Every structure is written in structure tokens, then in C-alpha cells.
């Protein structure tokens, strides 16, 4: 499944099984994610491949500086981040993925980022 930032400079591929794709999507209540207003999909880093635009990626770390949040420095869109709670994982911005439609009945879990960030 392909993903990209808004201007298209940054493109990536993720390998996930479509069947349980929505099972673990989440929102986070930390002060950064609240401002971004995003829904995320976690996955092992080896299932994520940057196709192009590495030179356009900038990153942001804050507080304990464990999680690293990547965004396109041209259009500003957050694409993915290295997770604080599991350094072997990235989470990607669901809004960056092509042809993703969240099922209407899907309840999106909130994770407690505010007390851990």
C-alpha cells in the first residue's frame, strides 16, 4: 500500500495484511498528536519502505526525545514516526495512505500518550 505527503515529494510503501488492517489503528492524546489531529497505523519498521524524498524529510523530537516524528519540509505533512513505546515500530499517518476508507462502524481507540510523552 502506497503513501505520500501532500506535495508528493515523499513517498513510501507499507506492507500490511488488508484483512485486519483497521484492528490496531489509533489516536494519541499527547499534546503533539492532539494538535495534528491524526489517526495512525502502527507497523514493524521492516514493513515500511521509503520510496523517495528522504532528503525532504525533517524530524521533530520533544520532551524525552525518544519518539521521532517525520514530516515533509516542503508541505509540512506528518508522514510517520518512530514510536516511543516500541523502537522497532513506526506509526504512519492514515491520511497519507492511498485509497483508505475507515469503515463507518469502526471505533478508533485512543492511546494514553499524554502521561508518557
- Residues making contact with Zn ion (CB under 5 A): 5, 7, 9, 72, 74-75
Query: Minimal distance in Å, beta carbon 53 to Zn ion?
Result: 7
Q: In 3D, which of 32, 31, 1 has the Cα closest to residue 16? A: 1
Query: Minimal distance in Å, beta carbon 56 to Zn ion?
Result: 6
User: SS3 of 104, please?
Assistant: coil
Q: In terms of CB distance, is 5 or 39 closer to Zn ion?
A: 5
Query: Minimal distance in Å, beta carbon 72 to Zn ion?
Result: 3
Q: In terms of CB distance, is 14 or 30 closer to Zn ion?
A: 14
- Supply the DSSP symbol for 106: P
User: Is-contact 16 25, C-beta < 8 A?
Assistant: no
Amino acid at each position: 500500500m502506497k503513501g505520500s505527503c501532500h506535495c508528493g515529494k515523499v513517498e513510501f510503501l507499507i506492507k500490511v495484511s488488508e484483512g485486519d488492517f483497521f484492528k490496531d489503528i489509533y489516536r494519541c492524546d499527547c499534546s503533539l498528536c492532539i494538535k495534528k489531529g491524526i489517526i495512525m497505523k502502527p507497523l514493524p519498521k521492516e514493513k515500511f519502505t521509503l520510496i523517495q524524498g528522504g532528503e525532504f524529510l525533517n524530524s521533530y523530537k520533544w520532551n524525552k526525545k525518544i519518539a521521532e516524528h517525520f514530516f515533509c519540509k516542503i508541505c509540512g505533512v506528518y508522514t510517520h514516526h518512530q514510536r516511543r513505546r516500541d523502537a522497532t515500530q513506526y506509526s504512519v499517518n492514515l491520511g497519507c495512505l492511498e485509497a483508505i476508507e475507515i469503515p463507518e462502524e469502526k471505533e478508533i481507540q485512543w492511546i494514553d500518550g499524554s502521561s508518557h510523552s
